[in-house]
Amino acid sequence: MPLALFLARERQIAGAVGFPLDDAWIHLHFARNLAEGAGFAYNPGRPMAGSTAPLWTLALAAGAAVLGPSLALAKALGVAGALGAALLTRRAAAAFGAPPAAALLAAVGLLWTGPMAWGALSGMEVTLAALLVAAALLAHARGRLVWSAVWAALAALARPEAVLLVPFLALGRPPAVRRLAVFGAITLGALLPMVLFSLWTAGAPYPATAAAKVEGGLIGWLGGLREPLAVALLARPGRFLLEWVAWLAGTQWVLPLALVPGLGLAWVRGGRALGAAGLVLLAHPLGMALLAPYRGPAFQEGRYSIHLLPVAFVVLAVVAGASTPAHPARWRRALVAAYLLAAAATLAPAATRYGWAVQNIDAMQVHLGRWLDAHAPPRARLAVNDIGAIAYFSRREVIDLMGLVTPEILPYRRRGDGGIAEYLLATCPDHVVIFPAWFPGLAARADLLVPVHRVRLERNLVAGAAEMVVYRLRRCAV
């Protein structure tokens, strides 16, 4: 039902299928280049670590090599990831001791959340990450050391925040040297290729996307960002924690119970194995804030947090299952009915947000990509601040003004619009496609930019600004 509701609202509002984020087109563009033999590159011929979810990009590329790149492929993989995550969540809950009814409700509960339905249809990596987290939990519950480490390490390649799960799984049983060594070696082995590729192509041990987006924390400090300690250690972690609790409550009202009260009972009823693993639910917002902050846990329907929903539902299933009253059939029916009613109240507005998000991306970035394909010369170079659909549909070389796949622009960005103008004059793209609201000083340069096409959204939900403009560069240095 949730997927059908989302698809119906997508059709009603957007009039066609699409993605609710421009970032999904970035993954598909990378995947198409890989499938066509151009390597892990955004602009063919230039390898670039421009994906913080390389496992998802590789999965799309594998599918594209067989079936061709398409929106339907990305959505099918996303739906498969969501269904697989639900099945493994049920098995993990049962393995930790939840009765069959509670384990089944954990799986249904996961599927009946707006963020999971959004993730399944978004073209993003979140359901793959949730699937791998659920697999790691199941292996951990069964005492399979190597496989729990493998699935957790792969989850980190699908969604980098999932790396926080690794130490809690490692400590979920007595921390013998062998256990810690296995988790450390497997995690390092999984992440090392990405680290080396990032060093080679982006000059940092993390993808260029992270360098461009991170706003502080440890990764920001390593990249030269300095901020007051009160912000880094107190204000932001506190804000992220509150946002995390609010997001869980908005997703399903019972989910915050999986935090402090649920974790306490999980230690009692599920033992150290579940209790320690569940601590990642508290560590997640704090880790985001302290390590590599970029927006918060609730940003864009919780795209940086959805992968942990299987953990929350497993904790709740074990805790609730141990409290089953004497009449399990009556308890089961009442609980399922109450949950579905509560879920329906959040699913409807989530589906509407999804529909408008698809409409926004289709009406702006997809439209501009197709317009540039029709109006720009085949060898034109485009300087853009949203690189997904514009690059995918135009198939032109892009200069990324945000630095996600053009890391050399980052020093210029730090100097503001004047630095961006200097970079444009030095690189001389044929067109500049930006949100004027993001670059007011640049957009005001009539001596530099001539507007030739613009799109304005009447109801903007997810685009960076309501208006995006295509400019022709009036002059350049080369």
Judged against a pLDDT cut of 70, whether residue 375 lies above it is answered with yes
Q: Which of 74-83, 321-330, 364-373, 376-385 has the lowest average pLDDT? A: 321-330
Judged against a pLDDT cut of 80, whether residue 1 lies above it is answered with no
State how far the Cα of 394 lies from the Cα of 404, in Å rounded to an integer: 18
pLDDT of residue 470: 97
pLDDT of residue 324: 55
Cβ neighbours, 10 Å, residue 13: 18
Q: Please state, for a pLDDT cut of 90, what percent of the chain lies above it.
A: 73
Query: What is the distance in angstroms between the CA of the first residue and the CA of the last residue of the chain?
Result: 57
**CA-based R_g, the chain, Å:** 23
pLDDT of residue 11: 95
pLDDT of residue 210: 79
Per-residue model confidence as pLDDT tens digits over 30-64: 999 999 999 999 999 899 988 899 999 999 999 99
pLDDT of residue 330: 65
pLDDT of residue 271: 85
Q: Residues for the chain: how many in total?
A: 478
Judged against a pLDDT cut of 80, whether residue 475 lies above it is answered with no
Return mean pLDDT, the chain. Answer: 91
pLDDT of residue 294: 87
Per-residue model confidence as pLDDT tens digits over 63-92: 999 998 899 999 999 999 999 999 999 999
State how far the Cα of 101 lies from the Cα of 82, in Å rounded to an integer: 20
Cβ neighbours, 10 Å, residue 455: 17
**Average pLDDT estimate for 267-291:** 91
Q: Which of 322-331, 349-358, 377-386, 452-461 has the lowest average pLDDT? A: 322-331
Q: Please state, for a pLDDT cut of 70, what percent of the chain lies above it.
A: 96
Judged against a pLDDT cut of 70, whether residue 326 lies above it is answered with no
Task: Name the region of 45 (left: φ>0; alpha: ψ -120 to 50; beta: rest).
Answer: left
Residue 20 confidence class, pLDDT cut points 50, 70, 90: very high
Residue listed under structure tokens 């109006």: 375
Residue 320 confidence class, pLDDT cut points 50, 70, 90: confident
pLDDT of residue 264: 86
State how far the Cα of 343 lies from the Cα of 108, in Å rounded to an integer: 10
Judged against a pLDDT cut of 90, whether residue 269 lies above it is answered with no
pLDDT of residue 335: 64
Contacts of 358 (CB under 8 A, 6+ apart): 10, 13, 14, 16, 17, 18, 19, 20
Residue 332 confidence class, pLDDT cut points 50, 70, 90: low
Residue 325 confidence class, pLDDT cut points 50, 70, 90: low
Per-residue model confidence as pLDDT tens digits over 340-373: 777 778 899 999 999 999 999 999 999 999 999 9
Residue listed under structure tokens 């853009």: 384
State how far the Cα of 88 lies from the Cα of 185, in Å rounded to an integer: 25
Judged against a pLDDT cut of 90, whether residue 412 lies above it is answered with yes
Which of 197-206's residues contact partners 24+ apart within 8 Å by CB, and which partners?
197/40, 197/47, 197/49, 198/49, 200/47, 200/49, 201/47, 201/48, 201/49, 202/48, 202/49, 202/50, 202/407, 203/407, 204/407, 206/49, 206/52, 206/292
Q: Classify the C-alpha dihedral 129-111-302-18 as positive or negative.
A: positive
- CA geometry: angle 255, 256, 260, nearest 5 deg: 125
Judged against a pLDDT cut of 70, whether residue 316 lies above it is answered with yes
What is the pTM for the complete model shown?
0.94
Per-residue model confidence as pLDDT tens digits over 161-179: 999 999 999 999 888 899 9
Three-class DSSP labels, the chain = CHHHHHHHHHHHHHCCCCCCCCHHHHHHHHHHHHHCCCCCECCCCCECCCCCCHHHHHHHHHHHHHHCCCHHHHHHHHHHHHHHHHHHHHHHHHHCCCCHHHHHHHHHHHHCCHHHHHHHHCCCCHHHHHHHHHHHHHHHHCCCHHHHHHHHHHHHHHCHHHHHHHHHHHCCCCCCHHHHHHHHHHHHHHHHHHHHHHHHHHCCCCCHHHHHHCCCHHHHHHCCCCCCHHHHHHHHHHHHHHHHHHHHHHHCCCHHHHCHHHHHHHHHHHHHHHHHHHCHHHHHHHHHHHHCCCCCCCHHHHCCCHHHHHHHHHHHHHHHHCCCCCCHHHHHHHHHHHHHHHHHHHHHHHHHHHHHHHHHHHHHHHHHHHHHHHHCCCCCEEEECCCHHHHHHHCCEEEECCCCCCHHHHHHHCCCHHHHHHHHHHHCCCEEEECCCCCHHHHCCCCCEEEEEEEECCCCCCCCCCEEEEEEECCCCC
Residue 259 confidence class, pLDDT cut points 50, 70, 90: confident
pLDDT of residue 277: 94
The answer to whether the CB of 298 falls within 8 A of the CB of 220 is no
